Amino acid sequence: MELLTTWTSTALPLTISITCLWLYNLLIKNSSIIDLYWGCGFAIVYWYTYLSSTTTSSPKSILLGLMITMWALRLTTYLYIRMRGKGEDPRYIKFRNSNPANYWWRSLITVFMLQATLIWILSAPLVVTQLFPGPITLTIVIGVLVWLSGFIIETTADIQLYLFKNKPSNQGKILMRGLWSLSRHPNYFGDVVQWWGFWLVALKPEMWWSIYSPVLMSIIIIKFSGIPILEKSLATTKASYQQYAKNVPVFLPNFKSLTRKNK
């Protein structure tokens, strides 16, 4: 019951913050700002629960909080740099143009509140940590190492892609070097790995059911909002993408290719 009460209470800061963001979106007429909220939303849930919890703080809860905050800050900063000066994302432009008169209120439900709801649903392991603090265990150490590997992979992949895209000579080309020679979406792979790290750090035997969170996040990225959208776009806009797709796996990195290259 305590878990349900605490978890439900996080809907309040999420609703307030997402509504404020929606109102700001109406002012600037750019729904792309919702993408910047994704990481921030989880940090809001975590620290709200941490500050409102009556349970004594522990190294475990502080550690997970720092991990989530680092993940959120890095993701938000990268997205801001990538989006800066580019206007509204084509996805939202298409949605806006499909029903201009009603977009203002429809966007609240289908864009902003939808994302807040997903954040709330996926945040169970974060809430669990606040209610069941404890010492640093082997499982937590493994979780931190898993998270750190994912953080390094995603950060490296994003930097490689950013530097590649900012060279005029690479216009219309596909990045096929570095981590992008091992996976077509190494940044998403790193993101998924981090979520499994979060779960391992937060894990308590009696809360085994919270595994749905990293599983659902993995499914969303691999099957719905992340990879499929990019795959469809790249296949139609990049002439060399089909050949690239034949040689490089879509998600799981092919580390065997490193061995072949070194022979």
Domains in the chain: boundaries:
1-133, 137-263
For 42-66, what is each residue's pLDDT tens digit? 999 999 999 987 777 788 999 999 9
Q: Burial-class residue 126 by CB neighbours within 10 Å (0-12, 13-18, 19+).
A: buried
Instruction: Compute the distance between CA of residue 225 and CA of residue 205 in angstroms, rounded to an integer.
Output: 31
Q: How large is the angle between the packed helices 114-122 and 212-219, nearest 10 degrees?
A: 140
Contacts for 259 with CB less than 8 Å, ≥ 6 apart? none
Q: Is the pLDDT at 260 greater than 80, yes or no? A: no
Q: Is pLDDT of 184 > 90?
A: yes
Which residues, 6 or more positions from 53, have their beta carbon under 8 angstroms from its beta carbon? Answer: 6, 130, 131
Distance between CA atoms of residues 61 and 46, nearest Å: 9
Measured CA to CA, the distance from residue 99 to residue 95 in angstroms comes to: 7
Q: Which residue in the block uniquely carries the two structure tokens 């979060």?
A: 198
* Residue 1 pLDDT grade (very low, low, confident, very high; cuts 50, 70, 90): low
- Confidence category of residue 80, pLDDT binned at 50, 70, 90: very high
pLDDT band at 130 (very low <50, low <70, confident <90, very high): confident
